Amino acid sequence: AARLSSPAGSPWSVEDILTEDDEQDRVPLQKLKLLGESEELRGLLLNPHLRQLLLTVDQAEDKSSLMKKYMQEPVFVEFADCCLRIVEPPEKENVLPE
């Protein structure tokens, strides 16, 4: 995989890591702000184990394989589900009939 070239110490931007295919998965900024306002999410983040997992993902080179592994961790799944409920409330989803 090609390394992103970015001057050392400069903050990366979303554009650095999103391809056009990923664009549809981008979460609008106002939705991201809701994450910061969620009491449920704040409660989950009090868990030191979850915080360690998130730090590890943040610092990892291969984030996708680490995420697959962490999706086996109940506390991480609970965190991910909570985030998704905030940015994609269930009533707006197109639910396919079984």
Q: Which sequence spans correspond to the domains of the chain?
A: 29-87
Task: Give the rounded distance of the alpha carbon of 47 from its chain centre.
Answer: 17
What's at 71, amino acid-wise? M
pLDDT computed for residue 14 by the predictor: 59
Burial class for 76, CB neighbours closer than 10 Å (0-12, 13-18, 19+): buried
Distance in angstroms (rounded) separating the CA atoms of residues 65 and 45: 22
pTM: predicted TM-score of the whole model, two decimal places: 0.66
Q: Tens digit of pLDDT for each residue in 40-88? A: 999 999 999 999 999 999 999 999 899 999 999 999 999 999 999 998 8
